[in-house]
Structure 1
Amino acid sequence: MPAIHAKSPRAERAYAMLRELRRRFVSQLNPIAVQFGDGQPFEPIEWLRDQGRHGGGARYMATDLTAFNRASVNTSQVQYDDDPAKKLASASALSTIIHPNNPLEPSVHIHISWTETKDGNGYWRMMADLNPSNPIESDTTRFTDCLKQAAPALYDEAARQGDRYFYIPALRRHRGVSHFYLENHNSGDFDADLELAQAVGTAAIDTYCAILAAALATRTQPSQEHRQRQLEYHTLYLFQVLTLDRGTTSGLLVHDQNDIGILASLPAQIHRGLLASWLAGMPPPQDELLRGLLACLPETDPCPIEDATKQAFAACLRQHYTAHPEAIDLQASGNSIPPTVSNHR
């Protein structure tokens, strides 16, 4: 059975726009792989929610491991049109992370989603953040400027929320260098909000691809020190995603039918010893979570993150938040907390 899409006209328009953003991103990444890698294209992998009865999605995964460490461009739509007991009508999303192989090229994370509830309400989430392991000021400025131009009236608020969301208390530092985050955004004008979401996504995608192509052409000789910083930053990235990222955790708690896709943002390898060294700064019961995550990893450095590792991580997170439901309050947030898990119940 193919995925059944939401009946709502707003959800239909939102999902069409998000899939167009996915197409736009993949169509720019593939030529980069041809020019600077082995020419292997992004390949689609489809997944279904409840055999398609409640939707599904597709993730476009990088297969060119010369150009990319890990890269995934995902779109999905989950809907409960046939289940009157659910609060959620539908959730339509684009979520993408690109980790280049070259440590002098920044990673990027973009998430844009439209959530609609059965009482007729709805809201947008818009996120875009640049994640360099070896920061270059001109890249940061270029990425920040594109977001200011895409959302001039809301940029300052989005930057404040982003700086709050991506702060890591245990390490007293941020993930990434340029943060844009709007949560529960609804101006009352769906057309204007749809246009804003598309503008933010288009600006982030086009600007990042321009930064990436320029870096690939000119930053061709990274040092061993650069590569070590990349390994350490990828470790920080995994740490933030698995212990603080509310969207990742909520997705895993809602269902178990797309674990690999939900954890597609994780880099190919990390520094296990560095990750273990952060235990001392973790508040209870999150110290238990980090111990559980470490137990999922082989005791090697560099430490590979395979699909089996991701499945183990997913099981660990579900077990932890089942045992400690109050610990979800320790996760990252902007100015408001979306009721993602309760919406699916």
Structure 2
Amino acid sequence: MSDEMLAEKARASAWFRELRDRIVTAFEALEDSHIDGPGAASAPGRFEVTETSRTAEDGSDAGGGLMSVMRGGRVFEKVGVNVSEVYGTLGTRAQAAMAARKGIPGMEDDPRFWASGISLVAHMQNPHAPAVHMNTRMFWTPHAWWFGGGSDLNPCIEYPEDTAHFHAVQKEHLDPHGAAHYPRLKEWADEYFYIPHRKRARGVGGIFMDDHNTGDWQADFALTRDIGQAFLPAYLPLVEKRRVLDWTGADRETQLVHRGLYAEYNLVYDRGTKFGLETGHDPDAVLMSLPPLAKWI
């Protein structure tokens, strides 16, 4: 591996950690500032931080990360912000899936990999405040490297103006990299976050990309950074506006049923969940995205 690629990996991993720190700080500030409305009498939530680890099949260290989870706050019922940096060799199943889906030759001969990223899922106390998902990542093998990720909004009670704001901020951050990016990544998110057995989307969309490699690492990394930097300005104003609204038992019922869609998608279709479990990462960190409570009817 070249010194240049080593430096690029270090830059990517450091950025994901920096973004994690920004988001954790912003979310705890949101808890502190919620002094009116439902839940304001509760103690402000705080993240519990746990180191995670991945163990290779031979028992050797294979990287890890930080799992940061807040439960039972004023605003957030459960939110997780994880960062990881893992490495080693891909198992047979992961090799086959990678070769088939990404068309990467040579995986059987040299199945080494390295991956780093940030993954976030927030489930809210107030049914009027939307749940959200965000992740960005870099993946490397001796045969290829690429970036991926995005963010999508998952309200159980939709407000069209909130959806419009979320998408507008995404577009604003993507347009400097080329006008074609936002419509392409929006369409990709619409397709990716679709639940076939329910014949519906799990939310109101956002942006998503995978296998992103133009051959220009600096440009691809800059795009990935801006996908991450779009998250807080796209999401925080929506929570600040909706967290003060009164809600009913019927609203809570709607929220719990909608969370069932989220759980179904993540357990059945989500590639990140499958990859994390197949490569031996900490299952609690991999399944952090699941809601604390959900309901099926």
TM-score category of the 2 structures, normalised to the smaller one: 0.7 to 0.9
Which residue of the other structure, out of 172, 186, 208, is the alignment partner of 1:149? 172
**CA deviation string 1:207-254 (max 9, x = no partner):** 2122212222x42x0122211110110111111111111221221122
Kindly indicate whether the alpha-carbon contact (under 8 Å) linking 1:80 and 1:86 is maintained by their aligned counterparts in 2.
Answer: no
Q: Which amino acid aligns with 2:250?
A: E
Tell me if structure 1 keeps the 8 A contact 2:31–2:73: no
Which 10-residue stretch deviates more, 36-45 or 234-243?
36-45
Counterpart position of 1:22 = 20
Q: 1:143–1:178: 8 Å Cα contact kept in structure 2?
A: no
Runs of 4+ residues deviating >2 angstroms: 50-53, 63-67, 84-89
- Identity across the alignment (%): 30
Answer with 33-42 or 225-234: which moved more: 33-42
- CA–CA distance in 2 between the matches of 1:104 and 1:20? 29
Query: 1:38 maps to what in 2?
Result: 43
- Root-mean-square deviation (CA), in Å? 1.9
The residue correspondences of 1:103-114 to structure 2 (distance < 5 A) are 103-114=127-138
Secondary structure at the residue paired with 1:27?
helix
Report SS of the residue matched to 1:237.
helix
Looking at structure 1, the residues matched to 274 and 234 of structure 2 have their Cα atoms a distance apart, in angstroms, of 29
Q: Following the alignment from structure 1 to structure 2, what is the Cα–Cα distance between the partners of residues 52 and 176?
A: 40
Measure the CA separation in 2 of the matches of 1:237 and 1:31. Answer: 26
How has the CA–CA distance of structure 1 residues 110 and 12 changed in structure 2, closer, same or farther, with 3 Å as cutoff?
Answer: same
2:87: which partner in 1?
79
Cα distance in 1, alignment partners of residues 268 and 80 from structure 2: 21
Partner of 1:277: none
* Residue matched to 2:9: 11
Instruction: Write out per-residue CA displacement over residues 38-97 of structure 1, whole angstroms, 9 at most, x where no aligned residue.
Output: 22311211112228822100011104433222110000000239xx97523310010000
| 1:116-137 Cα deviation digits (max 9, x unpaired) | 1123x21000221000010111
What is the one-letter code of the residue matched to 2:210? E
Q: Deviations over 1:104-162 (max 9, x none)?
A: 0001100100001123x210002210000101111111100011111123111111111
C-alpha contact (below 8 Å) 2:149/2:210 kept by paired residues: yes
Length-normalised TM-score, structure 1: 0.72
Match of 1:231 in 2: 256
Please list every run of 5 or more consecutive structure 1 residues that lacks an aligned counterpart in the other structure. 1-6, 275-345
Separation in structure 2 between the aligned mates of residue 267 and residue 204 of structure 1, nearest angstrom: 20
**Structure with greater strand share of residues:** 2
- Between the aligned partners of 1:209 and 1:46, the Cα distance in structure 2 is 27
Give per-residue Cα distances to partners, 1:6-51, cap 9 Å, x unaligned. Answer: x821111101111111011111000111222522311211112228
Report which structure shows greater RCO (CA 8 Å, sep ≥6): 2
- For structure 2, the 5+ residue unaligned runs are 35-41, 90-107
Please name the residue that 1:90 is paired with.
114
User: Over residues 149-182 of structure 1, what are the superposed CA-to-partner deviations in whole Å (9 max), with x where a residue is unaligned?
Assistant: 1112311111111111111121111011022111
